[in-house]
Amino acid sequence: MSFNNLETLYRQVIMDHYKNPRNRGSLTGDDHLTIDMNNPTCGDRIHLQLHVEDGIVKDAKFEGEGCSISMSSASMMTQVIKGKSIEDALKLSTVFSEMIQGKDVDSDVEEELGDVLALQGVSKFPARIKCATLAWKAMEKGVDANKA
C-alpha cells in the first residue's frame, strides 16, 4: 500500500472514531474512577470513567469536547484498555506515548494497538501531541490513583 493510501486510511479511521465514538457516555453506579483533565492550550477536555475490578479494566467510558485527534484518541484508548490488566494498560500507554513522539512500534504490540496506530502521523505535528495524549494521561492518572 502506498504512503498516500495509508495516510488516507489513517485519516478515515480517525474521522470514524470522531464521528462515531466508541464508549462515549457515562458509567452507572458509583464503583468507578472518575478523572477530569483538560488541555488549556487548545481547550480539549475529557471526563473519563474507569471501572477497575481485581486489577482489570472492566469498562471505560468518556465524555468531552475537543478536536478530532483528541476525541478519536479517547475512543480508541477506551477500546484498547477494556479487559486489560492495569499493568498492561499502562504499558500500552507508554508504547502510545513513544509512538506519538515518533518512535517505531514493535511489531508484537501493533496488533494490540489496533486502530490506535492511525494516530502515528500525529508525531509530525508537535502541537497536536497533547491532543492525542490527553485521554491516555487521564487513564494513567486514574490508574495511579487506584493503586494508591
Model confidence over 102-139: pLDDT tens digits?
Answer: 999 998 898 899 999 999 999 999 989 999 999 999 99
Greatest Cα-to-Cα distance within the chain, rounded to the nearest angstrom = 48
Query: Beta-carbon neighbour count of residue 51 at 10 Å?
Result: 17
Are 62 and 74 a contacting pair, CB within 8 Å?
yes
Averaged pLDDT for residues 28-54? 93
| pLDDT at res. 41 | 87
pTM for the whole structure: 0.93
Residue 2 confidence (pLDDT): 52
Adjacency order of strands within the sheet including 33-39: 33-39, 44-53, 56-65
**7 vs 85, which has greater pLDDT?**
85
pLDDT at 85 over 70: yes
Taking 80 as the threshold, does the pLDDT of residue 15 lie above it?
yes
DSSP state of 61: E
CA 44 to each of CA 34, 41, 64, 134: distance values in angstroms, whole numbers, following the listed order: 17, 8, 8, 8
